[in-house]
Structure 1
Amino acid sequence: MDATRTFYRVAYRVGFHPWEDLAGHAPFADSLGRLLDREEQGREPPFGQALDLGCGSAVWGVVLARRGWQVTGVDIVEPALRRARERITAAGADMRLVHGDVTELRRSHVGTGYRLVLDTGTFHGLTAAQRAAMGREVDAVATGDATVILDVFAPRRRGPLPHGASRDDVERAFPSWEITDVATADTDPDALARALRFDEHWYRLRRR
């Protein structure tokens, strides 16, 4: 993951992290909110353990914690985790952070028993081998009734930005899971997103 790690390390160092703004972008935030509503329907908080893969500065981990999930965020980029610690403190949120690799979750000691696994932009930047490793690790740490939610760009070269992934890529990485839903992640992308043709979708997966 060296190239991806380097990109994000440099991006955070120079203050380039536009993905953090998505929490305030209603078309994206609302689409994720509807997926989370589905997982919480008929239940009372606390809803269980949630794992935020590639949590970055904990934008979405804090959202999950406020909704009533017991959240662990894992990321390999230390500058992002420093921002995450600041965000969690400022929000007064209860969220655990782990400095670790999404392709080696067990070695990173994130624990097990996750009912929800959320990835808002890590999977689509990995190589095929790394995606398969991430899938195996999620298998190992998620509960039998868990849900995985992935935010995925359509496959296309975009310079140093994530190249995206297809539905087939998702299915290959998660062979013991079934894609139950595919939803548009951003119904009103900005000019840059349109130019880069992110064509961004949520994939909801459940164990077969």
Structure 2
Amino acid sequence: MNPYPLLYRLGITPWNRDAVPTRVVEVVNERSSGGRALDLGCGTGRDSVYLAERGWAVTGIDGVKQAIEAARERSQGAGVAVNWILGDVTRLETLGLGGGFDFVLDRGCFHGLSDRERERCAQGVTGLTGPGARLLLFAFQPRRLGLGPRGITAEDVQAKFGPTWDVVSVTPDTDLDRIPPWLGNAQPTWYLLARPA
């Protein structure tokens, strides 16, 4: 069962913040101009809007209707166009997205998926990107106890994305004030991957 619709209804959404994570800003600033960006598990759209404000043609995908509705309102308020899709990140091939995405952002979606769902998501992302594409993935490390996503290691990331992607960097998150205290042992980490040009 997908817990996210209920969590949105209850207002328990610690992943939704107004500030764009420092690592997202750093990676986006490394590129002088935008391209096509895909935001997986976009939530209420803060990161998608940030990318659109910087010239990216953005598609944001989330599986929760309430999140997509809030994201639509956010982009309208900011005066930017984002293609919002209510859809399943493990079935990207069914969403009619085309291809040619230059940048994929996943700020906490992938690490909550089952092994099979991760395989399908990784295959979908690979199918939508080409040589030179980059993927920035935020995830917790696996934990034995506690609430929240089950997490993922660098080895897991490499295994799921396989030989098509290179892990460029593994960086501990510096925005620790965003993490609720009950997830204190989660060791939030950013993974930057690239497809060889």
After superposition, the CA RMSD in angstroms is 1.8
Structure 2: stretches of 5+ with no match in the other structure: none
Work out whether 1:36 is the aligned partner of 2:36.
Answer: no
TM-score between both structures, scaled by the size of structure 2? 0.91
Residue type at the aligned position of 2:191: Y
* Structure 1: gaps (5+ residues): none
Q: Match for 2:5: what amino acid?
A: R
Give the superposition deviation at 1:196.
3.3
Deviation for aligned residue 1:193:
3.8
**Structure 1 residue aligned with 2:170, among 153, 172, 182?**
182
- Give the residue type in structure 2 aligned to 1:75: D
Which of 15, 18, 21 is the matching residue for 1:19?
15
Q: Does 1:88 align with 2:75?
A: yes
Question: Alignment length, in residue pairs?
Answer: 195
Tell me the distance in 1 between the aligned counterparts of 2:72 and 2:179: 31
For residues 107-161 of structure 1, the C-alpha deviation after alignment (integer angstroms, 9 at most, x for no partner) is 0122211000000010000011111111110110012110011001111145552
Q: Does 2:55 correspond to 1:71?
A: no
The counterpart of 1:113, out of the listed 100, 116, 133, is 100
Q: 1:70 to 1:144 in 2, by over 3 A?
A: same
- TM-score of the pair, normalised by structure 1: 0.87
- Hey, which bits of structure 1, 4+ residues long, moved more than 3 A? 157-160, 187-196
Displacement of 1:177 in angstroms is 0.7
Deviations 1:57-83 (A, max 9, x none): 111101111111110001111111111
Identity of aligned residues (%): 34
Q: Which residue of 1 aligns with 2:134?
A: 147
Q: Compared with structure 1, are the counterparts of its residues 131 and 86 closer, same or farther at alpha carbon in structure 2 (3 Å cutoff)?
A: same
- For residue 195 of structure 2, what is the aligned residue in structure 1? 207
Rounded to whole Å, the distance in 2 between the matches of 1:170 and 1:116 is 17
